[in-house]
């Protein structure tokens, strides 16, 4: 095994994409904000912000061009994401030790505590070339049936899906093979796996929660890798900001997946203080202990530990959509 490089020796590429569409306005401004935050953190060797004009100059652009449209959700159901990551890992990979991707809606805050947390995640990439965050929404609710069939383990469809909002890669052949498969499945059969499920009678969307590129990412992630990261997505209030208590609990985060589609930050600047971040590490551990204890007390969790994740969604009627 090669020696793990120190923080100063590691070469890290940060990558994001922002393109305004009919459905998602503000992403270009959000991407510029995230680019500025990434540069200001001084934790990346290079920061690359892409948009439509730049990706159409990349090799093999014709592979995804037919589906790219401002009329489609996510500017082509987010097919550009595996495309630009495949380009970054294949073409630029040899220049870097790590490639970090974050959606334009993410935010970045840095202080010594947050930076230590980030570099701890980078060290974890030495045992697995890709790391992403687990969600509590079971795969069966987030992914249509023909994509679910890709899962090698049948029980994985009852486990939480894996989020493609913020992804960490080690720049090696394992990550390249994974992203190449992600892109291949997204583009095969005229992008069929990306498309939303339609009702045959009236053509309306049937499975509202199908997550396009992320659904495909999630199932092949589970096929390739065993480890995932603890969920860090806090609830966003109606005014677009995060509650003070939640910022305290999650305050050690370096990159926040909060979907801020604007040029202004929504995170509390006062909480970007090392002492508060250190306290948040303790609060997060307490939060996890209390949550696990609650799950053990809940009689529903004494049944099947996997199937119990479905209970609240079955009670809410979501399962009938499948």
Domain chopping of the chain, boundaries? 12-321
| Residue 280, pLDDT score | 85
In whole angstroms, what is the distance from residue 301 CA to residue 281 CA? 27
| Residue 4, pLDDT score | 54
CA angle 260–46–77, rounded 5-degree value: 45
What are 217-230's pLDDT values in tens digits?
Answer: 999 999 999 888 87
| pLDDT tens-place values along the chain, 322 residues long | 444 566 668 899 999 999 988 878 889 999 999 999 999 999 999 999 999 999 999 999 999 999 998 778 889 999 999 999 999 999 999 999 999 999 999 999 999 999 999 999 999 999 999 999 988 778 888 888 889 999 998 888 888 889 999 999 999 999 999 999 999 999 999 999 988 765 444 444 444 567 899 999 999 999 999 888 876 667 777 666 777 777 887 788 899 988 888 899 988 888 888 888 888 888 888 877 876 676 555 544 445 555 555 555 555 544 433 2
| Residue 310, pLDDT score | 56
What are 183-206's pLDDT values in tens digits?
Answer: 999 999 999 998 876 544 444 444
In whole angstroms, what is the distance from residue 291 CA to residue 285 CA? 10
CATH of 12-321, one of 2.40.50.100, 1.10.287.370, 3.90.550.10, 3.50.50.60: 3.90.550.10
Cβ neighbours of residue 290 under 8 Å, at least 6 residues apart? none
Of the candidates 195, 188, 231, which has an alpha carbon nearest to the alpha carbon of residue 211? 195
What dihedral do alpha carbons 140, 146, 150, 156 form, nearest 10°?
10
| Residue 205, pLDDT score | 43
Output the pTM of the full model. 0.86
Of the candidates 123, 124, 48, which has an alpha carbon nearest to the alpha carbon of residue 92? 48
């Amino acid at each position: 095994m090669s020696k793990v490089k120190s923080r100063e020796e590691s070469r890290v590429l940060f990558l994001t994409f922002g393109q305004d569409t009919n459905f998602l306005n503000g992403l270009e401004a959000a991407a510029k904000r995230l680019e500025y935050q990434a540069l200001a953190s001084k934790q990346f060797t290079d920061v690359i912000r892409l948009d439509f004009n730049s990706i159409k100059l990349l090799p093999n652009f014709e592979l995804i061009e037919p589906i790219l449209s401002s009329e489609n959700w996510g500017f082509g159901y987010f097919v550009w994401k595996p495309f630009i990551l495949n380009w970054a890992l294949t073409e630029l990979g040899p220049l870097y030790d790590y490639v970090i991707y974050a959606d334009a809606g993410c935010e970045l805050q840095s202080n010594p505590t947050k930076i230590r947390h980030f570099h701890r995640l980078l060290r974890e990439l030495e045992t697995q070339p890709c790391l992403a965050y687990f969600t509590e929404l079971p795969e069966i609710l987030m992914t249509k049936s023909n994509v679910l069939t890709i899962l090698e383990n049948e029980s994985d469809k009852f486990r939480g899906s894996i989020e493609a909002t913020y992804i960490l890669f080690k720049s090696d052949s394992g990550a390249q093979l994974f992203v190449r498969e992600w892109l291949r499945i997204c583009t095969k059969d005229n992008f069929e796996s990306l498309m939303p499920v339609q009702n045959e009678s009236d053509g309306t969307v049937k499975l509202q929660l199908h997550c396009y590129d992320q659904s495909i990412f999630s199932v092949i992630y589970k096929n390739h890798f065993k480890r995932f990261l603890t969920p860090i997505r806090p609830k966003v209030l109606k005014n677009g900001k995060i509650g003070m208590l939640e910022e305290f609990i999650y305050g050690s985060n370096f990159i926040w997946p909060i979907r801020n589609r604007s040029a202004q930050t929504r995170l509390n600047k006062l909480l970007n203080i090392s002492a508060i971040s250190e306290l948040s590490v303790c609060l997060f551990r307490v939060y996890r202990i209390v949550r696990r204890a609650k799950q053990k007390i809940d009689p529903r969790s004494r049944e099947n530990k996997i199937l119990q994740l479905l209970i609240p969604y079955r009670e809410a009627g979501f399962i009938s959509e499948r």
